[in-house]
Structure 1
């Protein structure tokens, strides 16, 4: 990779020549760039890197207010076996000047690279290949499928290694169990022929099932970047070479040190292969949640075409098609009921055990299961646009994320393998200088190389994330960003929006108070203005107008102001609907009688909406939005978990206070605009969770330490959040926090095991206990312990599949 790299960036924020000038000045101020050309027409910037890197360019442009559009490419990476491997691939990718960031996941064997749009993914593949690992674009298989294939290959290699190793192991170790066995064997075959047979069998073990350790580990060692395979290759290779010299040229070895360790070399490879096989099997189980989600979608559907039913592949369905849904059948893709009435089990997506009632006009989601009624629905989304596909993508994104705690692990593993090699060399030198002989020095060095296990360190965090986010999907909790797990687990405060979050979000109009206008006229004009609004209060006014059978005039110039209300023109009159602040800002004098009615409603937990016509306060609509049945229990449980609960509402302070009192909340802030909620969240600090559902909640959701969106809320709220509850049930918040805490507890357990294991056993392998009468650790036991350490970490993470 040369330093003179041409970069062409799309910068959508450029709207004029002045913008282009600011971008160009920002780039020139950075230095290390040549041939800078910024076009306000194409909204693109071209430059040649001459010492500067894309991360620096991205930071400068973002700070200037013109962030560039970047591309993210995912690669499958083969051959990674430990955290050192993942760090090496990540370092190689990040070192490219045209790459902004790279994240490598050892568990999924993948790399996610954010880079300049013009960079050919083939160049990224070459970069990974040069670092010693094979890479390619994703092949479309789910993670469990990939791990299953890997597990099958490792199983076959393990069985072959085991078959070849057993004779060697029995020949050398059988005498420890049956004292006369070794003398009998030596008398039968002779020492040299027996050692030659062991050497041949061990050579096959190393060259066939164990070849992966040498083909990956030795080149990495020669490049000066050793990793786990390098340790195994050095350890097993050293034991084999020393034993081979003793067998073929014993005159070069002191008589007291003429022992062979073929069984150690063979058993090391066999046990590590067994560990990796079990690890790959466990990894597949860790990713089963995604596979189960993918398998929810059926392969066939009953399409209605020209009045006839016909079976077609789901992949052939198009938006607008009519699909017949038989009782008990799984919904193929997202759609809207056009005929029939029944119930659909949505538990696999929402975690809700009670089937949802469906009637014409109601949405259905692909992957859910129909009840006992025949239904017909019209397709609204297919392929990657379906809710199920978006959920799968969301879970995969979260599973590939790195938590802040991972940074510490990465720093340690980056120096771990070189440190182990240094300790192995030190152990060899000390044993050679102060020990009985050369053979014991070789054994000590080999034992240190084999006992070290950065594999467990590398798996400790990502395997817990994978299982935890997968379990969350099964419970109806989707983590859009993996790092939200850590922030949610560390939170000490939680704030809720009121309408649609703690309440059902389906308010009903309970009373209309008017001044100088009839109720029907007030309702007719208000409903006309609210016709295009998505606010829950608008829906209540529209519903009341429909019940009364009112004809609505067309409204023009409708404009919504978040946290205030809307303005429109209908029947030749200027309309304003909103709260009292909206009336004051518009200069409309408030009618005392209407204000008094609004205050009484707010004191009872209701919500008033005021109507002004041609600048005169004419009506007050009193609406009631009941609390969710589970909301009080949710607040109580959160309190028991040590979280301080608060309500942030755009409703009147009196209404917010009343609802908060009913739910058992001490703190409630009412009358908040979206920017007020944002300020309140920032005051509460970074360890705050915010739960909301509306467009006006989006800024607070994005700014909170962790934002949780109610799945029944708006798309903007969901996109701004870190986690999404697939159902509107607020008890999902409790499940999400409990799961996050369980995941972080699991990660701490894994990290403790991975680090404590190495801290405790590496000194034992070096022989520090021997001078005090303690045991030395054989390379075979070291290999077994190393293999089991990774299996332990993955097995511990799998316990999260039972988390609730």
Structure 2
């Protein structure tokens, strides 16, 4: 039984996951929790009191659960068919609101680009409570931009254009503009203001280096210091005040980060300068200029803050590019579709389409939802989802996917999966989730960052002391400036970005190539795999029988003549092999003739009368039953085919076997190349199958596998995977069926064929959209490249700090007289983060 419960107290996706996790810990309970609407659909083997459910959700936090409404039991399920015809999962039908598919996507989902709290998300924009970075909006399939007239706000359109009332250009409505673009525009505005006021501060400060400074003819230095103070106010209290807010939050929560160092460094410089202006007498002579004024650092604070703001601006721009793969997928989803109702065609919004609707897709249009062709035939470009550039021919009954592009013919399709259930929506969700997940290697970076900031502060204090005690005059000034430089240059932003940026770009790259990564851990673990185990049917082979050859040994009886008889005999059979023969006959344009006296002989074949001839099609036992003799040469040739794993059915006319039809499950065209690429990587490739020994051996030899095991039940496959792991092997298992699910779950990495069952896909960490085995090699290549990129980023970020901190502290001064200005340190710090992002973006051009 299933019931719907209302849950209160959830505010973000993290809350939803905690509640769902606690509910699923109850014996006999399977719960699915949604945030919008805030409810749980709970399947239970027997009735469970609401009080027991409340105890469970209370463990997750301050949440309450109650029955949504009387009689809210969910029933009337329907079975969803996967693309290969297997029964998949049963889902609610009658009681599922039509908005369920889109509700979660319509609201904003935000996450921290540094992934401080893993995959936790928020429902409102703002700053990360851990590191203070601006939260980024997750791309959504149903995130649309609406346009309105600035003079007539009642005018709202889906696309830009002119206002029908006043003719003014329509502008994006504030609530629908991309959040990342809004963040960039806000930072750009603040940066322009910061530059406007920082530039004159910088010029006033630098003018002191000019002989006979012309500014001093206007007024003394102490007054120019007041001018710098006034000009610094908009920079500190408007353009960059967010940095101080974040620094304060990091100190209060003791989650120290880059803004801690920036806030301390720039804040100390600015406050020191204020005290110097107001109370210059309290400072020793070492802090004073030859004009009698105390050195002020308004220009250092303003320039540092402005340069950090520049770094944030560049990061916001670059971060948008890391999500480009998702955005390109989002662009695939059309906003409109042509629906057929009562024989009339109507252009409707994509959100109003329901499963079971008939849609017309015209030449060049994007397919709006997942479904199957009802009428017509066409060629469809599926490269944007599968990664394969060759268009695919489609006819009535064939499946089509949302976002793919129709060729030059029109067709009518039946909508089967809409909204969040489409393959495109699921790809986007998987990519979003994987992009926010943490790779195990990031734990090392997080641990380093946790100790990094306190150590840097201690180094800065030590720098000041060393310069104050042993430095040249004015030693206190040198100590102060170098301590600030240490704080600024050591900001660990680049270290924090090193892993998530590579993961985000890599996951997007994989999605464009038809390889979906469930989480960052799978991406990292794929790099350690040394054995790849593959299933046969549907993984190495096409997964459906097809006619490979028809052999006739009777003079005057051509292949087509024999095929005509075979098609007629199978026209009344429901056996899978019969369907393969009928499909082959259709391809050859063979007419279906009438058969009389049809009989299906269990375990042997079929018999009947075609064209006044008694005919039989089946195995050797059937030939013996009907008294048909088999010529030695025919039997020898059929036996050789059977040893190669082919299925052979003899055809007899009267009392003589006149030929046979050879049926096989074709090996996928890319299988040999995929195995060779994995071998080149040093991986061992073996096959586990439930098929017979001869067939398994033939397939293994055909694609040069390292070994195989045949006639395995699902539990046998699971045990064989365990044996490999007990030997110290790291195992990746690829399969497509329900029987593969246990082994997929046991393997270090489970790889599911996207054309297989939903159960197999749920059990796997990696999904190959088109079920092409070459995707395994692509996944391995992607893992290698992403892990290499992460290591480059970490090496760059750590190396930058290892070199930068001593230089900022003044280690080169005794030898070369070189010191690093805090302003140069700020510039270097900002560009170090951008450099990590740019290096990560190189993955977009990687060849898989």
Shorter chain as normaliser: what TM range?
Answer: 0.7 to 0.9
Match of 1:292 among 328, 332, 335: 328
1:240 and 2:288 aligned: no
Cα pair 1:403 1:483 within 8 Å, conserved: yes
Query: Could you say which residue in structure 2 is the equivalent of 1:166?
Result: 199
Q: Offset of 1:226 from its aligned partner?
A: 3.4
What per-residue deviation string (whole Å, max 9, x for no partner) do you get for residues 163-216 of structure 1? 11111112223565xx43x62322333211111111211232111101001122
Query: Could you say which residue in structure 2 is the equivalent of 1:639?
Result: 679
Cα pair 1:144 1:291 within 8 Å, conserved: no
Give distance in 2, aligned partners of 1:682 and 1:691.
Answer: 15
Query: Could you say which residue in structure 2 is the equivalent of 1:662?
Result: 702
Structure 1 residues 417, 332: closer, same or farther in 2, change over 3 A? same
Q: Secondary structure at the match of 1:295?
A: helix
Cα pair 2:261 2:487 within 8 Å, conserved: yes
1:252 and 2:292 aligned: no
Q: Offset of 1:798 from its aligned partner?
A: 0.7
Cα pair 1:226 1:417 within 8 Å, conserved: yes
Write the mapping of 1:102-501 to structure 2, written as runs, cut at 5 A.
103-104=118-119, 111-112=120-121, 145-174=178-207, 179-180=210-211, 183-258=213-288, 259-435=295-471, 436=473, 437-501=475-539
Structure with greater helix share of residues: 1
Mean Cα deviation higher: 287-296 or 545-554: 545-554
Query: Could you say which residue in structure 2 is the equivalent of 1:724?
Result: 767
What per-residue deviation string (whole Å, max 9, x for no partner) do you get for residues 736-780 of structure 1? 221121111111111111111112211222223333445222211
Q: Secondary structure at the match of 2:520?
A: coil
Give distance in 2, aligned partners of 1:196 and 1:776.
Answer: 27
Q: Secondary structure at the match of 1:343?
A: strand
Mean Cα deviation higher: 211-220 or 244-253: 244-253
Query: Could you say which residue in structure 1 is the equivalent of 2:654?
Result: none
Query: Could you say which residue in structure 2 is the equivalent of 1:20?
Result: none
Q: Offset of 1:138 from its aligned partner?
A: 7.7
Q: Secondary structure at the match of 2:823?
A: helix
Q: Secondary structure at the match of 2:770?
A: coil
Write the mapping of 1:491-640 to structure 2, written as runs, cut at 5 A.
491-508=529-546, 528=574, 540=580, 600-606=640-646, 623-640=663-680
Cα pair 2:486 2:809 within 8 Å, conserved: yes
Match of 1:749 among 776, 779, 792: 792
Query: Could you say which residue in structure 2 is the equivalent of 1:107?
Result: none
Q: Offset of 1:256 from its aligned partner?
A: 2.6
Structure 1 residues 628, 419: closer, same or farther in 2, change over 3 A? same
Give distance in 1, aligned partners of 2:484 and 2:177.
Answer: 34
Cα pair 1:144 1:287 within 8 Å, conserved: no
Structure 1 residues 600, 484: closer, same or farther in 2, change over 3 A? same
Q: Offset of 1:508 from its aligned partner?
A: 2.8
Q: Offset of 1:690 from its aligned partner?
A: 1.9
Structure 1 residues 387, 527: closer, same or farther in 2, change over 3 A? same
Give distance in 2, aligned partners of 1:445 and 1:328.
Answer: 63
Q: Secondary structure at the match of 1:483?
A: helix
Question: Structure 2: which 5+ residue stretches go unaligned?
Answer: 1-8, 10-17, 30-43, 62-103, 145-175, 289-294, 552-564, 587-591, 604-618, 620-631, 651-659
Q: Offset of 1:276 from its aligned partner?
A: 0.6
Total equivalences in the alignment: 673
1:705 and 2:733 aligned: no
Give distance in 2, aligned partners of 1:669 and 1:49.
Answer: 48
Give distance in 2, aligned partners of 1:527 and 1:405.
Answer: 57
What per-residue deviation string (whole Å, max 9, x for no partner) do you get for residues 69-97 of structure 1? xxxx999898968x5xx64xx4xxxxxxx
Structure 1 residues 702, 770: closer, same or farther in 2, change over 3 A? same
Give distance in 1, aligned partners of 2:527 and 2:770.
Answer: 21
1:791 and 2:834 aligned: yes
TM-score normalised by the chain length of structure 2: 0.71
Q: Secondary structure at the match of 1:153?
A: helix
Q: Offset of 1:246 from its aligned partner?
A: 2.8
Q: Secondary structure at the match of 2:52?
A: strand
Q: Offset of 1:495 from its aligned partner?
A: 2.0
Give distance in 1, aligned partners of 2:753 and 2:819.
Answer: 58
Give distance in 2, aligned partners of 1:170 and 1:718.
Answer: 63
Q: Secondary structure at the match of 1:242?
A: helix
Cα RMSD over matched residues?
A: 4.2
Mean Cα deviation higher: 271-280 or 494-503: 494-503
Q: Offset of 1:793 from its aligned partner?
A: 0.7
Cα pair 1:406 1:461 within 8 Å, conserved: yes
TM-score normalised by the chain length of structure 1: 0.75
Q: Offset of 1:40 from its aligned partner?
A: 5.7
